[in-house]
Amino acid sequence: MADLRMPDVNSVIIAGNLIKDPTFRHTTTGGIPVANFSIASNRRFKDNSGKWKEDVCIIGVVAWYKLAESCSQNLKKGAAVLVEGELQSRAIKTEEGFSRNIIEIKSRRIQFLNRKDLAGSVVEAHSSEEIIPDMEIADDGTIGDPSQYRNNISDPGRAGLEL
Q: Write down the domain spans for the chain.
A: 12-153
Say if residue 53's pLDDT is above 90.
yes
Task: Tell me what the pLDDT averaged over the chain comes to.
Answer: 77
pLDDT band at 3 (very low <50, low <70, confident <90, very high): confident
CATH fold of 12-153 reads: OB fold (Dihydrolipoamide Acetyltransferase, E2P) (2.40.50)
pTM of this structure? 0.67
Return the HEC string of the chain.
Answer: CCCCCCCCCCCEEEEEEECCCCEEEECCCCCCEEEEEEEEEEEEEECCCCCEEEEEEEEEEEEEHHHHHHHHHHCCCCCEEEEEEEEEEEEEECCCCCEEEEEEEEEEEEEEECCECCCCCECCEEEEEEECCCCCCCCCCCCCCHHHCCCEECCCCCCCECC
Taking residues 116-134, what's their average pLDDT? 48
